[in-house]
Amino acid sequence: MPPAKKPAARPYHHGDLRRAVLTAALDVIAVDGPAALSLRDLARRAGVSHAAPAHHFKDRTGLLTAIAAEGFGLLAATLADASDLKDAGVRYVRFAREHPAHFQVMFTPQLLRADDLELATARALAADALRTAVSAVRPDDLGIDARLAGVAAWSLAHGFATLLLGHNLDGPVGDKDPEEVFRTLAAMLFRTGGKPDGPRS
Amino acid sequence: MPPAKKPAARPYHHGDLRRAVLTAALDVIAVDGPAALSLRDLARRAGVSHAAPAHHFKDRTGLLTAIAAEGFGLLAATLADASDLKDAGVRYVRFAREHPAHFQVMFTPQLLRADDLELATARALAADALRTAVSAVRPDDLGIDARLAGVAAWSLAHGFATLLLGHNLDGPVGDKDPEEVFRTLAAMLFRTGGKPDGPRS
DNA sequence: AGGCAATCTAGGCAATGACAAGTTTGGCTT
DNA sequence: AAGCCAAACTTGTCATTGCCTAGATTGCCT
């Protein structure tokens, strides 16, 4: 018998337990929210002992903090190649839909270790990307300063994404493509026509 | 001696345990989030046995559902006497700041019993109030239909409120009055001058 | 005064997070 | 190539919690 037949007979070392736990956690959170997360359950899913995850994340808060940091990294990358502020908003909404678990955890500070270095770094990265997108707005476009334009755009995108994920827009938006709807909203905020809309006085 | 000297010698019946538990729960949630909520802890705070709260709320989800329902009721009342859509937005933000615990729970569906009747009723009430405010907008004001205007206003207000509560605007907004800042944002969305801003082409 | 239902207490069970030792293993040094 | 070390993982344990069941107390209504 070939001893090299290293079967699924769970080797002592999982190989990539950290990623496995993260992925499983994202699944759970996307469906049932962060409150439903159980380290022991994640350990079972990964086929390891109940205390194994703690070695990678220290504790529950550590796991959630790692998820948030990953999320801010992904968001920063997504926003990095936005063409303008409106595009950044569209990307923001898309990110929330494609990574609902990350998004939820990123903006629930109570669940995170605020002083975590990785988290702070990733968050700063995302903030920079947002600032860059904001700076592309012509300041005289609306007679307002860029900082407020950024807050407005962020609020609109964040609110839309949040309400969308919470199924609060199922009625009004219905089966329409959310990104397209958001484009219309963004066009309302920044007058620059975004949708071939009706009569412009 | 007046026998009415009802001392703090904990009477068998609390008197208003339901309200006491709700209030304590709101305190905890406002500080540490819904995840930190413990029925046994609330019972201790109220000075009753560990299973007493369950009689009023059935279980943890029941308590949170009651909070959400109460929140939607309060929000509906707040929005009811809004003068216009922008005012409704300002009131929405104010509500979130004055009732952060309610607000947080209301928009975390994973924590709630979706089929609860009281919750559905209160939510419908709030939705009606919002619809009323939206209907006050002149449809031709922006060349867009009222439904989208409502979604835009709601998204902006909800996003701003959410980011505010999560301390994500501490930098940009600083120590400025949040309501005043929001008024400016709303003015950007609905061109009708809210702030003595620049030239209107 | 009697009785009833709501309110609250007491006890118990399974599950969880966190901690403390031990065990196995891959890889690096010598 | 032998040995060793630190990381990865396991096993065991404890306090806490949610929730269930059964029983005690009390206000209220007739």
Bases along strand C below 7 A from a protein CB? 7-12, 15-21, 24-26
pLDDT at position A75 is 98
Q: What average pLDDT score do residues A170-184 get? A: 93
**Nearest Cα residue in chain A from B153:** A156
Instruction: State the sign of the Cα–Cα–Cα–Cα dihedral B187, B191, B193, B199.
Output: positive
Give B139's DSSP letter: G
The reported pLDDT for the residue numbered B174 is 87
A51's CB contacts (< 8 A; 6+ apart) are A43
Q: Where does the pLDDT of residue B6 fall: very low under 50, low under 70, confident under 90, or very high at 90 and above?
A: very low
Chain A's closest residue to B164, CA to CA, is A155
Question: First and final CA of chain A: distance in angstroms?
Answer: 84
- The C1' atom of C15 and the CA atom of A90 lie apart, in whole Å, by 42
Predicted pLDDT at B190: 82
pLDDT at residue B64 greater than cutoff 70: yes
Rounded distance between C-alpha atoms, residue B29 and residue B34, angstroms: 5
Spatial neighbors of A193 by CB under 8 A, at least 6 apart, are A187, A200
Name residues whose C-beta falls within 8 Å of residue A184's C-beta, 6 or more positions apart in sequence: A194, A195, A197, B144, B148
Tokens of A63: 């796991």
pLDDT of B181 above 80: yes
Residue that is written with structure tokens 């009802």 in the block: B6
Q: What are the DSSP calls for A84-130, one per residue?
A: SHHHHHHHHHHHHHH-HHHHHHHT-GGGS-TT-HHHHHHHHHHHHHH
Q: Which of A156, A164, A190, A195 to mutate to test the interface with B (most CBs of B within 10 A)?
A: A156
CB B165 within 8 A of CB B96: yes
Mean pLDDT for the stretch of residues A156-172:
96
User: Rounded CA gap, A159 and A152, in Å?
Assistant: 10
| Cβ–Cβ below 8 Å for B148 and A184 | yes
The two three-digit tokens of residue A23, written as one number? 């992925």
Give the model confidence (pLDDT) of B10-48 as tens digits.
675 777 999 999 999 999 999 999 999 999 999 999 999
pLDDT at B179 (0 to 100): 97
Alpha carbon distance A113, A105 (integer Å) = 12
Interface of B with A (CB under 8 A): 32-36, 107-111, 142-144, 147-152, 154-163, 166-169, 172-173, 181, 184-185, 188-189, 191, 197-199
pLDDT, position A73:
98
E strand segments, B2-60? none
Task: Tell me the pLDDT tens digit for each residue of A5-20.
Answer: 334 456 757 789 999 9
User: 3-class DSSP state for residue B95?
Assistant: helix
Residue B140 is given by DSSP the state G
Domains and CATH numbers, chain B: 14-57 (1.10.10), 60-189 (1.10.357.10)
**Predicted local confidence at residue A116, as pLDDT:** 97
Residue pointed to by tokens 């669940």: A111
Comparing B101 with A12, which gets the higher pLDDT?
B101
What pLDDT, on a 0 to 100 scale, did the predictor assign at position B3?
37
Using the beta-carbon criterion (under 8 Å), do A110 and B32 form an inter-chain contact?
A: yes
CB A85 within 8 A of CB A153: yes
The pLDDT of residue B196 is above 90:
no
Q: What is the pLDDT of residues A85-114, one digit of tens each?
A: 999 999 999 999 999 999 999 999 999 999
- Whether the CB-CB separation of A110 and A60 falls below 8 Å is answered with no
Cβ neighbours of A183 (radius 10 Å)? 17
Choose among A143, A169, A189: nearest Cβ to B198: A143
Q: What is the pLDDT of residue A130?
A: 94
Where residue A174 falls among pLDDT bands split at 50, 70, 90? confident
Q: How confident is the model at residue B141 (pLDDT cuts 50, 70, 90)?
A: low
Residues 6 or more apart in contact with residue B92 via CB below 8 angstroms:
B75, B78, B79, B154, B157, B158, B161
For the beta carbon of residue A7, count every other beta carbon within 10 angstroms: 6
Read off the pLDDT of residues B126-138 as tens digits, 9 standing for 90 and up: 999 999 998 887 6
Amino acid at the residue B73: G
The amino acid that residue A198 corresponds to is G
CA neighbor of A167 nearest in space, from B71, B177, B109: B109
pLDDT category of residue B7 using cuts at 50, 70 and 90 = very low
Which B residues 39-78 have CB within 7 Å of strand C?
A: 43, 48-52, 55-56
Question: Measured in whole angstroms, how far is the alpha carbon of residue B103 from the centre of its chain?
Answer: 3
- Euclidean distance between CA atoms A92 and A179, whole angstroms: 10
